Amino acid sequence: MVTGYVSNQDPPSYYSVVDVLVHPSLRDGMRNVLLEAMACEKAVIATPVGGVLEMLQDGKNGRMVSINDVNSLAMIICDLLSDKALRN
pLDDT digits (tens, 9 = 90+) for 42-56: 999 999 998 898 889
CATH number at residue 80: 3.40.50.2000
Domain count, the chain: 1
What is the reported pLDDT for 11?
75
What is the reported pLDDT for 57?
93
Q: Is residue 74 part of a domain?
A: yes
The 43-46 sheet, strands edge to edge: 20-23, 43-46, 63-64
What is the reported pLDDT for 77?
96
Q: Is residue 40 part of a domain?
A: yes
Q: Is residue 39 part of a domain?
A: yes
What is the sign of the dihedral through the CA atoms of 30, 33, 36 and 42? Answer: negative
Q: Is residue 4 part of a domain?
A: no
Q: Is residue 3 part of a domain?
A: no
Q: Is residue 42 part of a domain?
A: yes
> pTM for this structure?
0.84
What is the reported pLDDT for 80?
96
What is the reported pLDDT for 31?
74
What is the reported pLDDT for 58?
94
Query: Could you read off the pLDDT of 61-70 as tens digits, one per residue?
Result: 999 999 999 9
Q: Which domain holds residue 72?
A: 11-87
